[in-house]
């Protein structure tokens, strides 16, 4: 693995040095993902049993010769991506942080710490609250009219995509805090468009993998709460520092 040379804020470096650093960080990220993928595939039985939690002992079906292997590999890759997320975020942070001034770097560190925390919170909320409620509604809807069979590929895809999608949309406070920090919007504007933001939250929840009204409602409520949290964070930390006043004119 190539050695990563970190460039400081006040250090001037040619484009080749930046590209070399970027290549080294990409290689480090891919190496971490490869190790995590091997670990997850090795422990795929424990991983699949964990994901089967919301349906209990209900049997999953596979169709085709290669589907058990491809489904297991896909789930292992999703889990490896989650395990590698801290490494990926650090590599992105370490590569971009030298471009920021010292005062901006402190704010960037706070944001870098909030990203994985919010993602894990969103993923946990999706898996332990949204997915069980959605499955309870969907699997028992008109159950007397249908013989519902669960295909493994579709079930695992539903669980993983819902978990990842909700974890991603839990980054709303980060995005709003970033745009208020650089002055694109203000706290007053966020309050003024609150009603439209609530509608947007419902639209985003409807666009997430869950297709039932139960999961849509469960996803809309935390999105609205996150928007309100974004306003609080923007009021506390989102104001960009004012430039120093300049002296006009000459002393007489």
Let me know: does 27 contact 21? Beta carbons within 8 Å. Answer: no
Whether 247 is in a domain gets the answer: no
Residue 87's domain comprises 15-237
pLDDT of residue 250: 40
- How many residues are given for the chain? 252
Q: What predicted TM-score, i.e. pTM, was given to this entire model?
A: 0.75
Whether 243 is in a domain gets the answer: no
What's the maximum distance between 2 C-alpha atoms anywhere in the chain?
A: 93
Let me know: does 181 contact 114? Beta carbons within 8 Å. Answer: no
Whether 248 is in a domain gets the answer: no
Quote the CA–CA distance of 169 and 205 in Å, as a whole number. 9
Whether 5 is in a domain gets the answer: no
Whether 192 is in a domain gets the answer: yes
Whether 4 is in a domain gets the answer: no
Each residue's pLDDT, cut to its tens digit, for the chain (252 residues) gives 455 555 555 556 566 766 787 888 889 889 999 999 999 999 999 999 898 888 877 788 888 888 889 999 999 999 999 889 888 888 887 777 776 666 666 667 777 778 888 888 888 988 898 888 888 888 777 777 777 788 888 889 888 888 888 888 888 888 887 777 777 788 888 888 888 888 888 888 887 776 677 778 888 888 888 888 888 877 776 555 444 444 444 444
Quote the CA–CA distance of 185 and 226 in Å, as a whole number. 17
Cα dist from 182 to 42, 82, 111, 172, 175, whole Å: 45, 29, 14, 16, 11
Whether 6 is in a domain gets the answer: no
3-state secondary structure of 151: strand
β-strands 150-151, 60-61: how paired?
A: parallel
Whether 9 is in a domain gets the answer: no
Q: Count structural domains, the chain.
A: 1
Per DSSP, the residues of 113-144 read: HHHHHHHHHHHHHIIIIIHHHHHHHHHTTTTT
């Amino acid at each position: 693995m190539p050695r990563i040379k970190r460039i400081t804020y006040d250090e001037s470096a040619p484009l080749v040095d930046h590209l070399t650093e970027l290549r080294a960080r990409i290689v480090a990220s891919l190496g971490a993902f490869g190790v995590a993928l091997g670990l997850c595939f090795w422990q795929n039985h424990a991983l699949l049993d964990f994901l089967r939690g919301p349906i209990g002992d209900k049997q999953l079906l596979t169709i085709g010769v290669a589907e058990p292997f491809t489904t297991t590999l896909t789930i292992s890759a999703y889990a490896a991506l989650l395990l590698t997320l801290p490494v990926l975020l650090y590599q992105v942070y370490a590569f971009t942080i030298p471009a920021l001034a010292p005062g901006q770097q402190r704010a960037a560190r706070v944001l870098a710490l909030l990203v994985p925390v919010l993602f894990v919170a969103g993923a946990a909320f999706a898996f332990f609250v949204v997915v069980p409620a959605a499955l309870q509604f969907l699997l028992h809807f008109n159950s007397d009219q249908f013989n519902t069979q669960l295909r493994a590929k579709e079930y695992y895809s539903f669980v993983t995509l819902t978990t990842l999608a909700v974890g991603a949309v839990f980054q709303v406070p980060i995005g709003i805090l970033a745009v208020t920090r650089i002055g694109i919007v203000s706290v007053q504007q966020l309050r003024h468009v609150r009603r439209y933001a609530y509608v947007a939250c419902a639209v985003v929840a409807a666009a997430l993998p869950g297709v039932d009204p139960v999961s849509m409602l469960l996803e809309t409520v935390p999105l609205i709460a996150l928007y309100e949290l974004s306003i609080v964070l923007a009021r506390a930390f989102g104001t960009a520092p004012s430039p120093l006043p300049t002296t006009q004119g000459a002393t007489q």
